[in-house]
Every structure is written in structure tokens, then in C-alpha cells.
Amino acid sequence: MSIEYVLKRNAKKNINITIKDDGTVVVSAPKRVSIAEINRVIERKKEWIEKAKSKQSQKKIIHTDLDIRDGEKIYFLGELKTIKIIPSKATGIFIENDDICFEVKEKYLNNQDYLNTHFYYALKEKLTLILTEYMNMYLKVMNLDVNTMKLRNMRSRFGTCMPTKKEILFNTYLIHYPLESIEYVVLHEVSHLIHANHSAKFYNVIAKYMPDWKFRKNKLKEYSLQ
Ligand SMILES: [Zn+2]
């Protein structure tokens, strides 16, 4: 059986094969390389591609634009929870065993837009609390400071740091990942205030404060944003 792939032509020297989060095989190849040649490379790497695809399919899927409904499942701090909508006087979320309980005023119960907006808003609030606590903790022990911390929906990064502006940005979707991995992302971005690169020195700083950082970093890879 041949492998289906998406072909991208570029100016680079080599043929490059990547597997996207949804399992799509993307081949980027220089313009001068023929399709026959590309197919030969694919055939040679077939085993590796199949393996990478199956690994991808075992990932825990984080849906980023879920319609918030009773019984729907969602990852919260790395664990799959069932959404339970509770009519209430207040609005907010709390965890009860395997449920993520969403309190909503009666008049909004059938308003899907309201449910979506306010559920994600409540998640963002929870994440802000978590991030702020870790940020303050590491800034203190490392004797550093930042001017701003922001949250943004991002597809391919967990965070970014602009050391010159002392500005740190975190991915809003981090709330779906395990707490220990969120802590790693915080330390990672804070450490960029010392080293604005991914050098060995940079990772030495991280290791000093978090000896098991690799384990926490790898846990992020168990999930896939879709
Ligand atoms: Zn980095």
C-alpha cells in the first residue's frame, strides 16, 4: 500500500518528511526532485512513517473549539473530565472527581455561545492563577522580574519570551496539559530572561531549578491540539 502525502516544494536542499498532528504526511522537497524520486524516498522510509503515524494516533486529543455541552469530555490539567452543567446563581467551574462542573445561570442554559464563551473564559481564569503563582515563585528564587505576562491562543508554541521587553506570553490551551508540565513551561520562559536561546547553558539553568524537566517536557508531547 502506498502512503498518501501532501507535497510542498521549497528551496531547501533535502527531502523532508513530517507527520502533522492530524496524521497527515507532509513532504517538502526541492523543485528539481522528481515525483518518482520522492516516491522512492517515501517507500524507503515507509516503516518510519507508519510508526510515526501510529504514535500520533495514540496522542490525547485536545479539541480547541468544543461546543460546551453536558456530558462532553475535555482535558483539564492533563486529565480527561466530563463536563457537567449545573444551573446555579453564580457562574464558574470547579472539579468534582471526574467531572468538571460548570455553573451557569438558568437563563443561559440553552445559549450555546454563552456556554462556550464563559466556559473558556473560566478556564482562562484558572490558568492565569496557576501561571501567576509559578511565575512569582520562579522570579523570586531566580531574582528576576517581568513587565508583562499575557495569554494568547497559539497553535504551535506553549509560550514565548521577549527578554529585552521582559514580556512573557503563554498559550491559553496550557490549561488542558498536566500541571507539572505547565510549571515546566513557566520555568522555560522565565529562564529565557537569562539566556535568550536554547543553548546548553539555558537548559542548565532549568535543570538547576527542576531536575526532572525532561520528563515534564516530554509529557507535553503526549497531547495534540486539534
Ligand atoms: Zn524556548
- Domain positions in the chain are 6-58, 61-125, 127-225
Q: Calculate how far, in angstroms, residue 7's C-alpha sits from the geometric centre of ligand 1.
A: 29
Task: Check pLDDT > 70 for residue 217.
Answer: yes
Q: Calculate how far, in angstroms, residue 202's C-alpha sits from the geometric centre of ligand 1.
A: 9
Q: Calculate how far, in angstroms, residue 197's C-alpha sits from the geometric centre of ligand 1.
A: 7
Mean pLDDT of 114-134: 96
Q: Calculate how far, in angstroms, residue 204's C-alpha sits from the geometric centre of ligand 1.
A: 13
Q: Calculate how far, in angstroms, residue 198's C-alpha sits from the geometric centre of ligand 1.
A: 6
| pLDDT of the residue at 58 | 86
| pLDDT of the residue at 155 | 85
pLDDT in tens, 76-105: 999 999 999 999 998 899 999 999 999 999
Q: Calculate how far, in angstroms, residue 69's C-alpha sits from the geometric centre of ligand 1.
A: 36
Q: Please enumerate in sequence order all residues whose Cβ is within 8 A of that of 103, keeping only pairs 6 or more positions apart, or say none.
A: 86, 87, 88, 90, 91, 92, 93, 94
Task: Check pLDDT > 90 for residue 204.
Answer: yes
Mean pLDDT of 59-67: 90
Q: Calculate how far, in angstroms, residue 193's C-alpha sits from the geometric centre of ligand 1.
A: 10
3-state secondary structure of 63: coil
- Quote the cell numbers at residue 96: 468534582
Task: Check pLDDT > 70 for residue 146.
Answer: yes
Q: Calculate how far, in angstroms, residue 76's C-alpha sits from the geometric centre of ligand 1.
A: 24
Mean pLDDT of 54-67: 88
Task: Check pLDDT > 70 for residue 122.
Answer: yes
pLDDT more than 90, % of the chain: 82
Q: Calculate how far, in angstroms, residue 71's C-alpha sits from the geometric centre of ligand 1.
A: 37
| pLDDT of the residue at 166 | 96
Indicate the fold that domain 127-225 takes in CATH. Answer: Zincin-like (3.30.2010)
Q: Calculate how far, in angstroms, residue 143's C-alpha sits from the geometric centre of ligand 1.
A: 19
Distances (CA, A) of 122 to 99, 118, 131, 156, 164: 15, 6, 14, 23, 31
CA–CA separation, 75 and 219 (whole Å): 14
pLDDT in tens, 165-188: 999 999 999 999 999 999 999 999
Q: Calculate how far, in angstroms, residue 162's C-alpha sits from the geometric centre of ligand 1.
A: 10
Q: Calculate how far, in angstroms, residue 190's C-alpha sits from the geometric centre of ligand 1.
A: 9
pLDDT in tens, 19-37: 887 788 999 999 889 999 9
Contact 125, 144 (CB under 8 A): no
**Cα 96–224–16 angle (5° rounding)?**
170
Q: Calculate how far, in angstroms, residue 59's C-alpha sits from the geometric centre of ligand 1.
A: 23
| pLDDT of the residue at 56 | 81
Q: Structure pTM?
A: 0.82
Q: Calculate how far, in angstroms, residue 188's C-alpha sits from the geometric centre of ligand 1.
A: 6
Contact 109, 135 (CB under 8 A): no
pLDDT in tens, 158-167: 999 999 999 9
Q: Calculate how far, in angstroms, residue 127's C-alpha sits from the geometric centre of ligand 1.
A: 20
Task: Check pLDDT > 90 for residue 131.
Answer: yes
Task: Check pLDDT > 90 for residue 1.
Answer: no
Task: Check pLDDT > 90 for residue 40.
Answer: yes
Q: Calculate how far, in angstroms, residue 126's C-alpha sits from the geometric centre of ligand 1.
A: 23
Task: Check pLDDT > 90 for residue 53.
Answer: no
Q: Given pLDDT bands bounded at 50, 70 and 90, which one contains residue 55?
A: confident
